[in-house]
Amino acid sequence: MSVPVVRVGGFAEAEVVTILNAACDQVGLDPTGAVMLRGHTNAVYTLPAAGAVAKIARAGTPLESVRRTVRLVQWLTSKNFPTVELLPMKQPVVVGGHAVTFWHHLPQPDRPVPAAHLAVPLRMLHELPLPPFDVRPVDTAGAIRRSIAKTTALPPNDVAYLERRLTELEDALRQVRYVLPPGLSQGDPQHRNALHHEDSAVLCDWDTACFGQPELDLVTVEIHCRRFGYGRAHYQEFADAYGFDVTSWQGYPALCSLRELRMITTNAKRASAGSPTIAEVRHRIQGLRSGHDRLEWNIL
């Protein structure tokens, strides 16, 4: 019987450990006792001996994309914005074509950041001036289309459904009128992309940062509250703290549906046949087909 290869952030487990050790050696950090924090999208390790966190970009991630993230976080830090900070060294470190970044470690309690604590840093972000370098524009529909094209583990009827759904939503979005001014967006604000810091929170994971409409960030928070079991009251505390309830806006249904479609297709393109990930993706697709907008999803 063959032994399945364990995948961590798009890597075989042995490969990611080799990359981690080599990157730490380049910058003089001690990887002893490294513990994986997350391993679905990227490989993220805490380095207790160094008081740091290492993030290894998923296999195939363009180096320029990671450099863009580093540039943005360094600019945010210069503005005293509440973000997790990079360690003061030349970043990213490149090992065998893979980009690795190193961050300050903020010890965390065993509970998620409440959505209400996302409100202040998100509003601050949305009100910042643009940085003195290019920020990529939001392209949610394009990202969905690219993900569908790379999906190999779904049956053809599910793929066809996703394509039809995207076309329908693109038509609906042409009628949407936004009410908030465009600006910097985090791209994926949610409980796991923020960290406790004293009595508030700092944002982290800037890989999807872009220039776009704040409404998309706000819809993302609402989806996470609704789909992952936090509940309406939890979301309402966020909306009250931010000062705008995106669910009361006329464009909410279309934008919410588009964001949910991206959350499904992003995972679909990474999933292999027979995996727990593809099972969850199909669970979500079935919920969309049945119109079950309160169906709970499982975190991937």
- Segment 74-123, tens digit of pLDDT: 999 999 999 999 999 999 999 988 899 999 999 999 999 999 999 999 99
Q: CATH 3.90.1200.10: which residues of the chain?
A: 116-290
Element (H, E) at 210: strand 210-212
Query: Over the stretch 141-172, which tens digit does the pLDDT of each residue have?
Result: 999 999 999 999 999 999 999 999 999 999 99
Q: CATH 3.30.200.20: which residues of the chain?
A: 7-104
- The reported pTM is 0.93
Q: What is the mean pLDDT of residues 209-222?
A: 98
d(CA 7, CA 106): 26
Report DSSP state, residue 5. Answer: P
Q: What is the CA radius of gyration of the chain?
A: 19
CB 58 within 8 Å of CB 10: yes
Domain 7-104 has CATH 3.30.200.20: yes
Looking at the chain, the whole-number percentage of residues with pLDDT higher than 90 is 89
Question: Could you tell me which CATH class the domain 116-290 is placed in?
Answer: alpha beta
Q: What is the mean pLDDT of residues 172-178?
A: 96
pLDDT of res. 123: 98
